[in-house]
Structure 1
């Protein structure tokens, strides 16, 4: 029984990571047999993982097939509203509770990220790690759980807003403002800085989506 639970967890994580890294993109069909072969896992845990992902709305039905879900304009707006509030709260709590060691980790992350400015994919991964570190620095397990759910849904976005021209530099500047506020224990400034950061990312994404629609016409 323990091995079965471990396999189920592995299958779930493997598929989730594949969606998050855009190996499987919105609209892609997921087939049990193909996933089992790709990941070297039996079909039973794959089936259970797919059911779990469908329950979490990361997969949806297209007839009898399961496909990676996509977010419409309204869902995207709702997601960013919730993300902005929860991320802002995490920053506010981090300003109160972050240890000197946790702040140093954030500083080290920002320094390392400067070398990734010309690699949007790597910078996007680093950005996720940076945000996760702030979540953990909030020292609120229930908030971290909710933010994990939000970031799972972010995996349904086919591209990263950091890929937009100039967004990488802007992202690092916004990260600096967030950490500076956390460092001095200013919860309100940290909340506002992170909210503004999410708002700018949303504006960039809306522009990218508009450009994609225009290019398709």
Structure 2
């Protein structure tokens, strides 16, 4: 589904991504783990068209999307759930969700996806006319995920979905990610909680200062002594 080859990204004079190559197969959960500054979020932003790469290619479903605008990338079926949720606090839950569908014109499909989102997140249905800014942190993360799903994406990219959440909510978020994947969505996940991410990932890449230093199935990396010492604290 998604193939990144020899991607290089600069922020000013900083070489943030140094020639990484990754694959995200259709139907998989793939995670990127690494310390702050490793280039994980920059990779997602480059795929989404929010920053432009210096060189390298990003191929999605056989098309080079490296030079497309963010709007065109969303049209192709890629959405990003950004770090920090970035919901619209002054809009209602329903208004936030419908903004996720702003490029769509299939009314029946939108209605079906809205029902799916409310099944995934019953609390959002209970608060449908509540302003986004009055929701708890966990509810805002659910709203950000729901808004992304309203775009009917093929690939959902998530940047630190568990950040700042209580442990019980972290488990709930990861259970929901697995459910979204089980219902046919491909997931590319960036997550500081390496243990939780590797537990659900079909495949994982470890990034350090803009380079891939390790890769393999999530279950294999979670047993890797180097990964356990550096990222799992064991």
Same fold (TM over 0.5): no
Higher normalized strand content (fraction of residues): 2
- Write 1 or 2 for the structure with the bigger share of helix: 1
TM-score by length of 1: 0.31
TM (normalized to structure 2)? 0.29
